[in-house]
Amino acid sequence: MNLLNVTQKFATEDAAWDYLVRTRWPEGVRCLACDHDKCYQIATRGKTNKPIRLFECGECKLHFSATTGTLFHDSHLPLTKWFMAMALMAEAKKGVSALQVSRHIGVAYKTAWHLCHRIRKAMEELNSEPLGGQGKVIEIDETFLGGKKLGKGVKAAKDAKIRVLGIAERNGRVHLQRIKDGKAGALRVIFESKIDPTTKAVVTDGAPVFASIFNPAKHHAFKHEEDFAERGELTAKTVEGAFSLFKRGVIGSYHHLSEDHVDSYLQEFCWRFNRRKLQPFMFQTLLRELTQKKPLTYKKLTRETF
């Protein structure tokens, strides 16, 4: 579903709420405290006469809403606006900034900023399956973002930038993450958790650190300066393609990438990239993840970063 479908299908708050309830509890509403399956919808009104949709548990009498304990928790924003922002973020190949979201859905920048961070939280892939496996090729590369320090030499400039490691399954999923330095110890830990040990081959740019980590029989090196055609099988085009798409997004949408939030932007990018072949279902997938992850308050977001 793209933005247009979402806006049409969920034109009213009621339509959006019904869909949220069905997504959170596909087999019927269950009590959040005692898991009882007899829960009744009760209609009540808030201070401004705004309807509040609550459930009451038939057993323990708990009152709860479909958004209680999810990433939607305590949001005063209409669900129709949430859904529009989610469609924008699930759809935008190169990412979308909080400013763009604020303009599209008609809310203040600060509201859009918090909204985008909560949606991004739903996109974190904490326990994803390792990449690679039998018969598969893994590509590894590094790139640097931002922080130009002129006149201090290439090495100083590189040190000042944000260093990003990319691991990709050829023509498949990617994992991008920020790393402090390119030392073997830290890299080894990442590779152990992210790469399936039965992987057929690993392709890197041949830096000595990679040669020291991988079994020489499985490790192949390419040269950055050679064309893809010359490299043949020794290509790293999946990981390089992901890097360039991410960078175009940073330049086109975010302009300035806050260093504090680089990790969550990388996660957002990977979430979308890894589902690029599942485009029609991305909105539904994202909604499910928003209902399954714990709340993220504005206070928590800003406390962690400032």
The Cα-based distances of 267 to 105, 177, 225, 286 in angstroms read 23, 8, 29, 13
Least distance from Zn ion to the Cβ atom of residue 34, Å: 3
Least distance from Zn ion to the Cβ atom of residue 293, Å: 22
Least distance from Zn ion to the Cβ atom of residue 55, Å: 10
Of 30 and 219, which CB lies nearer to Zn ion in the complex structure? 30
Burial (CB count <10 Å: 0-12, 13-18, 19+), residue 75: middle
Segment (H or E) for 137: strand 137-145
Amino acid at 205: D
Query: In 3-state terms, what secondary structure has residue 67?
Result: coil
Least distance from Zn ion to the Cβ atom of residue 247, Å: 50
Of 42 and 278, which CB lies nearer to Zn ion in the complex structure? 42
Backbone dihedral angles phi then psi of residue 52, each to the nearest 5 degrees? -115, 125
Of 70 and 143, which CB lies nearer to Zn ion in the complex structure? 70
Least distance from Zn ion to the Cβ atom of residue 60, Å: 3
CB 156 within 8 A of CB 167: no
Q: Which residues bind Zn ion (CB under 5 A)?
A: 31, 33-34, 36, 57, 59-60, 62
Of 34 and 156, which CB lies nearer to Zn ion in the complex structure? 34
Of 63 and 188, which CB lies nearer to Zn ion in the complex structure? 63
Tell me how many degrees the CA angle 212-216-222 measures, rounded to the nearest 5: 85
CA pair distance 16, 75, nearest whole angstrom: 14
